[in-house]
Amino acid sequence: MFSAEDYLQGWLFYSTGACCLLLVLWLALRKSSWTTVRHLIMLLSAAVLLTPVTAYRDDSHLAPAFFVSLYEGLLLKGADAGFQRGLAPMIAIAFFALVGYLLIRLVWSLILKRRSGKANSAQKLRGAKLHAKQDCAE
C-alpha cells in the first residue's frame, strides 16, 4: 500500500502530464473558428482527465477516475467490477462544467449586449446634423 506522500507525488506528476496534454489539445484547436466547440472539447477533456475518485473502495486516497474506471472495467471480475465507479463522477463533473460554461456564456453575452447598447447611444450625434450634399448645393 502506498503512503499519502506517494499519492501526492503521483497526483503532482499526473496533473503536470494532464496539463501538458490539455496544452497540446489547445494548440491543436486554437485556430478553429468554432470557439464554443473548442471550449466544450477542452472542458470535457479536462473533466475526463482531472476528475478524482477513491483509488480503492476501502481507501480514502484519490486516483484519476479515468484510470480507475479502465482498471475496474477491463481487468476486474466479479460483482463490483465495471466502469461505473469512475464513470459516474466524470459524467457529473462534465455536466456541471457544461452548465457553468453555458451560464458564463449567457451572462457574458448579456454584458456585451448592454455595453454595445450604451456605446451606440453615446455615438449618436447631438445637435445640428450636417447634410453635406444640401449644404454644398446652396
Over residues 68-114, the pLDDT tens digits come to 888 888 887 766 667 788 888 999 999 999 999 999 999 999 998 88
What is d(CA 138, CA 126) in angstroms, rounded to the nearest whole number?
23
Please give the pLDDT value at position 73.
82
DSSP state of 82: S
Please give the pLDDT value at position 126.
58
- Enter the C-alpha cell of residue 11: 497526483
Rounded to 5°, angle at Cα 81 from 78 and 86: 170
Residue owning grid cell 457529473? 92
Tens of pLDDT, residues 31-71: 988 988 999 999 999 999 999 998 887 878 888 998 888 88
| Whether 58 contacts 34, CB under 8 Å | no
Please give the pLDDT value at position 78.
66
**CB count in 10 Å sphere of residue 97:** 17
In terms of Cβ atoms closer than 10 Å to its own Cβ (0-12, 13-18, 19+), residue 72 is buried
User: Does residue 82 or residue 14 have the better pLDDT?
Assistant: 14
Q: Where are the domains of the chain?
A: 4-106
What is d(CA 135, CA 138) in angstroms, rounded to the nearest whole number?
6
What does the chain come to in residues?
138
- pTM: predicted TM-score of the whole model, two decimal places: 0.73
